[in-house]
Amino acid sequence: MTTIHNPVIPGFHPDPSLCRAGGDYFLVTSSFEYFPGVPVFHSFDLVNWQQIGYCLTRKSQLNLDRLPPSCGIFAPTIRYHQGLFYMITTLVGGAGNFYVIARHPGGPWSDPIWVEPGMFDPSLFFDEDGKVYYTRRGERGIVQAEIDIPTGKLFTPLRMIVEKYICPDIEGPHLYKIHGCYYLMAAEGGTRFGHCEVIGRSSSPWGPFEPCPHNPFLTQRDQSHPPIRDTGHAELIEDAAGNWWLFCLGTRHLRYDSATILGRETFLSPLTWQDGWPVIASIPRIVGSFETDLLPPQNPGPALWQDDFDRRTLDLQWNFLRNPYEADWSLDERPGCLRLKGSAVSLQDWDSPAFVGRRQEHFQAEAACQVAFDPLAENEEAGLTVFMSNWFHYDLAISLRQGERRVVLKKQVGDVVQEIVSPPVGAGPLVLRVEADGLTYNFTYQESLTPDAGIRGKAAFTPESSEVRSPSFGGRGGKTPLIPIPSPPNPYPLGTGLARLLNSELAGPSDQATTFTGMYFGMYATGNGRPCQGPADFDWFGYRRG
């Protein structure tokens, strides 16, 4: 027996949808205001996933200009049909529902084919008779129409097919044909503690749909303070051997309170069929681990990950906040460094600051970077941020205070801002570091590991390596270099921040109860209303899981 640990894709990866093409599996998740949009993952076995690209990599596909936090891309669905991959989603705050098409899910993907602006959570179903159905959340239930795939035109008017199974807050529909019946699966109860998954069946794709007698067949809402909560927005898939599985989103919690910092993640459960209805193995809950003889061993991935910015493109781990301004960043101007040129845009603005970040995927984690930055005015800063949303983040940055170069820890929780300022620091690059234990973030700084600022600190590190599978179909094994995050002696502690003050339940915009994203560790530079007079050069960034 093999023990599988959840989540199978950790960190902010909500609303999973997946499809199978032969023996390969491809999965997409929501990305909201982050760019590129809709990350794509590949697996040979449903449990070990590797990111291979994004569906939306061009502004012509995804315009996020000045969208509010947690707007942007909601709930993608990926489908494979006759050699082509289709990803349909919604640009909330933009033009609505659209899909893109690709021959390989790693890209490139086509420009959008727009369908219509109504609501969100669209899905596609390719029936055996050649008809294609477009299904989404409506104003009062789930609506559906037959669609012309080449053009996005609806052949039939949108028609309500299910008003509710248990409660009227129904969304995230997926239509399947299984064992000769049409199944309409959906989420109900909102995406927080009342979240659940429900299903019905019919002899027609138009219904009426008979509700499952044990709805909700997936939920954590009947437990008191469970470590996994909010499960729902699920997808069913049959593997190449005929076994069934369920993927869904959920959140992890360390304590009794509601705080979650990692966002909604992707979880997996075995599934069986009883009397024509799906039953997950740990009725009706997702568990932190389960045993199975149907899956191979799970690879936890490298404990250490570092980017030295030696390539001319950014690693797939990295995201921008909304569409980046191309003049704000470069990998070419100082080879071997990521150069960020702080603009007038700050981390508080609903815009795109000079920011490059990656997800925090573990409660116990550490992030560090080495940055060279010489601020010339007190409005200028550059460094490391622990970022949940525009008004909820902790920043460890080099700045100018009272005419001297210092390290500043700035903690912003809503409209409350606190600063802790270091003594003056000398010229040259600094190592900025944050250590997380799930409850607190601890911030330290240190002079560069090399006394000569012109010698890049990574030269002193000892590389390691680990085997990875190629992202190509039936890929070959390869080597990816891994370099440990340096541990400088005698780092200077500057302060701590409570994790629960940045949790997604608290950090939502004023017009919604929660933010839909999760924590990022990022590098940034800003002039806070005026452009910086000089660039910030990041020599390396490292991430270590606890």
Residues with active-site annotation: 15, 171
Label residue 50 exposed, middle or buried (CB < 10 Å: 0-12, 13-18, 19+): middle
Neighbours of 274 (CB within 10 A): 8
Q: Which residue has the tokens 């997996």?
A: 268
Beta carbons of 332 and 371 less than 8 angstroms apart: no
Beta carbons of 141 and 163 less than 8 angstroms apart: yes
Neighbours of 46 (CB within 10 A): 22
Could you tell me the sign of the dihedral formed by the alpha carbons of 267, 272, 277, 280, in that order?
A: negative
Label residue 179 exposed, middle or buried (CB < 10 Å: 0-12, 13-18, 19+): exposed
Residues 6+ positions from 533 with CB-CB distance below 8 Å? 376, 377, 380
Neighbours of 403 (CB within 10 A): 8
Amino acid type, 544: R
Q: Where are the beta strands (DSSP E) in 373-491?
A: 381-389, 392-401, 404-413, 416-421, 430-437, 440-447, 464-469, 477-482
For residue 382, the SS3 value is strand
Amino acid type, 82: Q
Give which of 6, 17, 13 is closest to 32, Cα–Cα: 13
